[in-house]
Amino acid sequence: MDTSLRRASIREVVDRDGYAKLNSLSELFGVAPVTIHRDLDYLVTEGVLERVRGGARSLSGLHHEIRTDFNLRRSQVIEQKRAIARRALDEIPDGATVFFDASTTVLELALELEQDASRSLTIVTNSPAIAFMLHAPYIRVIVTPGEVDQSLRAITGLWTAEFLGGLSLDTAFVSAAGLTVSGGLMTTQRELAEITKTVFARSERRIALVDSTKFDAPALLSMAPLGQLDLVITDAEMLSSVEKKYVDGGLPLVRAPGNAPSRGRQS
Summarised one tens digit per residue, pLDDT across range 128-144 is 888 887 878 889 999 99
pLDDT recorded at residue 169: 99
Higher-pLDDT residue of 124 and 46 is 124
Q: pLDDT tens for residues 207-259? A: 999 999 999 999 999 999 999 999 999 999 999 999 999 999 999 999 998 75
129 or 91: which carries more pLDDT confidence? 91
DSSP letter string, the chain: --HHHHHHHHHHHHHHHSEEEHHHHHHHHTS-HHHHHHHHHHHHHTTSEEEETTEEEESTTT-PPP--HHHHHHTTTHHHHHHHHHHHGGG--TT-EEEE-S-HHHHHHHHHHHT-TT--EEEEES-HHHHHH---TTEEEEEPPSEEETTTTEEESHHHHHHHTT--EEEEEE--SEEETTTEEEES-HHHHHHHHHHHHTEEEEEEE--GGGBT---SEEEE-GGG-SEEEE-TTS-HHHHHHHHHTT--EEE-SSPPPPGGG--
**Average pLDDT of the chain?**
88
Statement: residue 187 has pLDDT above 70: yes
Please say whether the beta carbons of 21 and 55 come within 8 A: yes
- pLDDT reported for residue 63: 43
pLDDT exceeds cutoff 80 at 267: no
**Which tens digits make up the pLDDT trace of 61-89?**
544 444 455 555 655 678 899 999 999 99
What residues form DSSP beta bridges with 255?
234
Q: Facing residues of 205 across strands?
A: 171
> Mean pLDDT, to the nearest integer, of 146-155?
88
97 has a pLDDT exceeding 70:
yes
What domains are there in the chain, each with its CATH number? 3-58 (1.10.10.10), 70-261 (3.40.50.1360)
Confidence class for position 117, pLDDT limits 50, 70, 90: low
Which neighbouring-strand residues pair with 173? 100, 207
Look at residue 70 in the predicted model and tell me its pLDDT. 57
* Cβ-contact 99, 92 below 8 angstroms: no
pTM value is 0.75
Residue 62 makes CB contacts below 8 A (sequence gap 6+) with none
